[in-house]
């Protein structure tokens, strides 16, 4: 593949990044703009006099750090649990034939087809009955059922992409099934796990309809609800909203970078050793 790399491809890639990234640029740009420049006409593509007012205002919210903490707990909790639980199920689906397998596949698929909005009230009532409304655990459990089917579905595809022969060779070499999985399958799964975990995190991080209904204490609410509060009845504080959104998006980007580096390098080393 290396031979086909060329300046043309690089330029094309940069053009693509520019087009796709424009709305992101606009968000960050707006975050640094004083309010009255935000709707200016003709539009300006460069900050005239960048200001940190919007960030100061966004960070000045009383519950901001509590909300960040709550988001982090919910986000990481959801990602970790759904990855562990989901990988197990995905492995079973990709590698075993068992009675009820088809039914399980169909259920996993159907579950993802149900519109979330139709489930808001029933889910609330269920959690209400077991006293888990306004509880972070309740939210994680709820998010889990929305990220799990996806995780299973995704990872199943990636496990299926790992040639069974590799795994069997490892088992012949004396690794147990678990050893073979850890040394052979897991390293090859790394990119899939990265993509899946980012997906699960983004879901949990940005969801605001369910979590708003499920949580009531201001300090437990997540940053996504905090973001909605920039749309006041007086009009939308676009500068504050965009500054808030920039702050909110940062952890996800950092998470991706960390996960990519850690998993990619760590597991690749493991693969060489195995």
Partner 1 sequence: MALRSSHRPLALALFLSLAAAGCGSGSGSSGAGGKLTVWLAVDAQESWPQLVQSTNDRFAKAHPGVAVDVQYQQWTTKNQKLDAVLAGKNVPDVVEMGNSETTNYIVNGAFATLDPSRFDQSGSWLPALADACRHDGRTYCVPYYVGARVGVYRTDYFTRAGVAGPPRTYPELMSALDRLKGTLGAEDPNFSALYMPGRYWYAAMAWVKDAGGEIAVQDGGRWKGALSSPKSVAGLTEWKRLIDAYYVGDRAKDNGDQPGVVAQGRVGVFYGNTWEADAAADEHAGGDPKLKGRFATFPFPGPSGKLLPPFLGGSTLAVPVKSTRKDLAADWIGMFTDRQSQQTLIAANTLPNNTAQLAEVAAGGINGPAAQAAATGGWMTPFAPGWTSVEKSNVLPEMLERIANGKASVQDAAREADRRIDEVINER
Partner 2 sequence: MSADRGRRRRPRLLPYLLIGPTVLALVLVLGYPLVDMVVLSFQDMTREQLFSGSSPPWAGLRQFRRILGDAFFWTVVARTVLFTAVCVALTVFCGMVTALLMHRVSPWVRSVISGVLVMVWAMPVMVAGSIFRWLFDADYGVVNWLLSNLPGVDLAKHNWFTNPWEGFTVIVAVVVWGSLPFAAITLRAALAQVPPELEESAVLDGARPFQVFRHVTLPVIRPVLLMVTTLTAIWDFGVFNQIWLMRGGQPEREYYLLGVYSFIESFAVNRYSTGAAIALVTVVLLLAGSVVYLRQMLRTGEAE
3-state secondary structure of 232: strand
- Burial classification of residue 235, based on how many CB atoms lie within 10 Å of its CB (0-12 exposed, 13-18 middle, 19 or more buried): exposed
HSE-CB of 267 using CA atoms within 13 angstroms: 20
Task: Confirm if 198 and 167 have CB atoms less than 8 A apart.
Answer: no
Distance between CA atoms of residues 238 and 135, nearest Å: 31
What minimum distance in Å lies between the beta carbon of 176 and partner 1?
28
Task: Confirm if 96 and 156 have CB atoms less than 8 A apart.
Answer: no
136 binds, among partner 2, partner 1, none (CB under 5 to 8 A by kind): partner 1
23 binds, among partner 1, partner 2, none (CB under 5 to 8 A by kind): partner 2
Evaluate the omega torsion of the peptide bond into residue 42 and state whether it is cis, within 30 degrees of 0: yes
150 binds, among partner 1, partner 2, none (CB under 5 to 8 A by kind): partner 2
Contacts of residue 98, defined as CB under 8 A and 6 or more positions apart, other chains included, come to 92
What minimum distance in Å lies between the beta carbon of 235 and partner 1?
4
245 binds, among partner 2, partner 1, none (CB under 5 to 8 A by kind): partner 2
What minimum distance in Å lies between the beta carbon of 228 and partner 1?
6
Which 8-state DSSP code applies to residue 207? -
Tokens standing for residue 101 = 């397998």
Angle formed at CA 23 by CA 39 and CA 71, multiple of 5 degrees: 105
169 binds, among partner 2, partner 1, none (CB under 5 to 8 A by kind): none
Which residues 56-95 are close enough to bind partner 1 by CB under 8 A?
57
Among 92, 213, 249, 264, binds partner 1 (CB under 8 A): 213
46 binds, among partner 1, partner 2, none (CB under 5 to 8 A by kind): none
Task: Confirm if 226 and 64 have CB atoms less than 8 A apart.
Answer: yes
Among 41, 99, 103, 113, binds partner 1 (CB under 8 A): 41
Which residues 127-146 are close enough to bind partner 1 by CB under 8 A?
127-138, 141
Which residues 69-108 are close enough to bind partner 2 by CB under 8 A?
85-86, 88-89, 91-98, 100-102, 104-107
**Applying CB under 8 A, which residues contact partner 1?**
34-36, 38-41, 53, 57, 120-122, 124-138, 141, 209, 212-213, 216-218, 228-229, 231-240
């Amino acid at each position: 593949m290396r031979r086909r790399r060329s300046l043309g491809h690089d330029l094309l890639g940069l053009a693509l990044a520019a087009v796709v990234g424009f709305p992101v640029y606009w968000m960050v740009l707006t975050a640094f703009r004083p309010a009255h420049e935000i709707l200016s006409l003709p539009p300006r593509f460069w900050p005239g006099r960048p200001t940190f007012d919007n960030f100061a205002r966004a960070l000045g919210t009383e519950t901001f750090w509590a909300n960040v903490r709550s988001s982090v707990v919910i986000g990481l909790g959801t990602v970790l649990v759904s990855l562990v639980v989901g990988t197990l199920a995905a492995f079973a689906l990709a590698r075993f034939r068992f009675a009820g397998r088809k039914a399980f596949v169909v259920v996993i698929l159907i579950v993802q087809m149900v519109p979330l909005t139709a489930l808001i009230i029933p889910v609330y009532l269920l959690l209400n009955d077991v006293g888990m409304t306004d509880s972070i655990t309740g939210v994680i459990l709820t998010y889990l059922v929305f990220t799990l089917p996806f995780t299973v579905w995704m990872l199943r595809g990636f496990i299926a992409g790992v040639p069974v022969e590799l795994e069997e060779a490892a088992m012949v070499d004396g690794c147990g099934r678990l050893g073979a999985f850890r040394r052979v399958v897991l390293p090859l799964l790394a990119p899939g796990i990265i993509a899946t975990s980012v997906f699960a995190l983004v879901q949990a991080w940005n969801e605001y309809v369910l979590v708003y209904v499920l949580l009531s204490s201001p300090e437990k609410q997540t940053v996504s609800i905090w973001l909605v509060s920039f749309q006041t009845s007086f009009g939308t504080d676009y500068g504050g909203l965009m500054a808030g959104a920039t702050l909110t998006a940062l952890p996800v980007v950092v998470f991706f970078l960390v996960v990519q580096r850690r998993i990619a390098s760590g597991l690749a080393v493991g693969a060489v050793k195995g």
